[in-house]
Amino acid sequence: MSSLSISAAELTERLGKGEKPVIIDVREQIEYHTYNIGGANIPLSVLPGKVDDFGYNKTDELIVICKAGIRSRTAQAILQQHGYQNVKNLTGGLIAIQKLL
């Protein structure tokens, strides 16, 4: 597991311990409202325009999630291009989390 990704098992375990990592869900609003594990809903379609208004430190751990891990990988690249140094992609996305529950 690279430091640029986080497994569904690791994220679920951390949330279960009461940790509150910064989660950015890059799915569209309708998807977010259908099922989510919390976090900020910033759809990938608007992310590039909002990245400079985040208010997170460039060194904060940010975990980007989506349904399957593809859009969040794109979001991860966008954030890294804007100087964020600790962006992790949820491997397998929310599908992987749902399989654990």
- Tens digit of pLDDT per residue, the chain (101 long)? 457 999 999 999 999 999 999 999 999 999 999 999 999 999 999 999 999 888 899 999 999 999 999 999 999 999 999 999 999 999 999 999 999 98
Q: Output the pLDDT for position 2.
A: 54
pLDDT at residue 1, rounded to an integer: 43
- Which CATH number, 3.40.50.20, 3.40.250.10, 3.30.450.20, 1.10.3720.10, labels domain 5-100? 3.40.250.10
* pLDDT of the residue at 54: 85
Q: For the chain, what is the radius of gyration of the CA atoms?
A: 12
Instruction: Please state the three-class secondary structure of the chain as a single string.
Output: CCCCEECHHHHHHHHHCCCCCEEEECCCHHHHHHCCCCCEECCCCCHHHHHHHCCCCCCCEEEEECCCCCHHHHHHHHHHHCCCCEEEEECCHHHHHHHHC
Q: Does pTM top 0.85 for this prediction?
A: yes
C-alpha 8/C-alpha 28 separation (Å) is 20
